[in-house]
Amino acid sequence: MADKPRSYDAVQTREGILSHAKVLFSKKGYGGVSISDICRAAGCSKGSIYHHFNSKEDLFIQLARSAFESSWDDWDKRSAGYASASDKVHAYAEQFARHANLSLTKAGEDFISSLPAGSEALESFTKILTGYVKRFERLIEEGIDSGEFKSSNAAETAFILLSCYSGLAGNVRMMDKEEAVKLYRTAAGILLDGIRQ
């Protein structure tokens, strides 16, 4: 019984570190945050951080993995209510507009640019991003398999659609959220016109 509270505390500490790090990375970018900054924000020691994470890079990778997994868990629940692949692409565009953490996306770009080519951290982060695109690729494949979308390279189409959503994100930051959602739905419609049968 004595082990349970300790285990619970360890999980709470790890989650607290990730939560505070997310806020800091979102505000200051990857390069603007030090382990000392995270310690101060989370109210813990460097030893505590290094107990849970091998490095600042490892912490950021774990944060990215958690964010992407959470995003897809939410999407899996929402997408079950849509009948067609086109409806899902529109709904995904809306979700992207409403929930994209643009500041954390910028921190991700900062993180990538800070890593040397071929590094283990870059490989791990790329794997997370590739997994994200693969999930969206399955949505495109669903539309192709049902005859709703033209036969095409699903991986390429998924990458293009997600790149458009990401690119648009940088241009709607100052817009009202509902305006941004409307713009994303319009963009999804334009993109879908190009892949529908």
Q: Do 119 and 185 sit in the same domain of this protein?
A: yes
Share of the chain above pLDDT 90, in %: 47
pLDDT at 40 over 80: yes
pLDDT at 174 over 60: yes
Q: Do 33 and 59 sit in the same domain of this protein?
A: no
Q: Is 174 helix (H, G, I), strand (E, B) or coil?
A: coil
Eight-state DSSP code of residue 116: P
Q: Do 88 and 108 sit in the same domain of this protein?
A: yes
Dist. CA 159–CA 165, nearest whole Å: 10
Q: Do 39 and 62 sit in the same domain of this protein?
A: no
Q: Do 81 and 145 sit in the same domain of this protein?
A: yes
Instruction: Pick the closest to residue 107 from 41, 172, 57 (CA basis).
Output: 57
The per-residue pLDDT for 101 is 61
Q: Do 168 and 88 sit in the same domain of this protein?
A: yes
Dist. CA 4–CA 57, nearest whole Å: 29
Dist. CA 141–CA 158, nearest whole Å: 9
- Domain boundary at 53, 75, 96, which? 53
The per-residue pLDDT for 140 is 94
Average pLDDT, the chain: 87
pLDDT tens digits, 10-24: 788 899 999 999 999
The CATH number for 35's domain is 1.10.10.60
6 confidence band (pLDDT: 50, 70, 90): low
Q: Do 96 and 46 sit in the same domain of this protein?
A: no
Q: Do 64 and 41 sit in the same domain of this protein?
A: no
Query: 154-169 vs 85-99: helix axis angle to the nearest 10?
Result: 30
100 confidence band (pLDDT: 50, 70, 90): low
Backbone φ, ψ for residue 196 (5° rounding): -70, 150
Q: Look at the chain and report how many structural domains it folds into.
A: 2
Q: Do 64 and 156 sit in the same domain of this protein?
A: yes
The per-residue pLDDT for 33 is 95
The reported pTM is 0.80
The per-residue pLDDT for 107 is 85
Instruction: Pick the closest to residue 42 from 54, 24, 61 (CA basis).
Output: 24
- Domain boundary at 53, 69, 96, which? 53
- Per-residue pLDDT averaged across 144-164, rounded? 91
Tokens of 174: 């100052």
Find out whether 63 and 15 touch, Cβ atoms under 8 Å: no
The CATH number for 93's domain is 1.10.357.10
Domain that holds residue 2: 1-53
The per-residue pLDDT for 109 is 85
The per-residue pLDDT for 181 is 86
Q: Do 67 and 42 sit in the same domain of this protein?
A: no
Find out whether 65 and 125 touch, Cβ atoms under 8 Å: no
Find out whether 115 and 56 touch, Cβ atoms under 8 Å: no
- Domain boundary at 14, 32, 53, which? 53
pLDDT at 2 over 80: no
Q: Do 5 and 101 sit in the same domain of this protein?
A: no
Dist. CA 120–CA 58, nearest whole Å: 10
Identify the residue whose tokens are 């806020």: 23
Q: Which of 92-96, 168-172, 188-192 has the lowest mean pLDDT?
A: 168-172
Dist. CA 85–CA 83, nearest whole Å: 7
Q: Do 39 and 66 sit in the same domain of this protein?
A: no
Dist. CA 14–CA 9, nearest whole Å: 9
Helical segments of 80-153, H only: 85-99, 102-114, 120-145
Dist. CA 78–CA 191, nearest whole Å: 21
pLDDT at 85 over 80: yes
- Per-residue pLDDT averaged across 141-155, rounded? 93
pLDDT tens digits, 43-84: 999 999 999 999 999 999 999 998 888 888 888 888 888 989
The per-residue pLDDT for 129 is 87
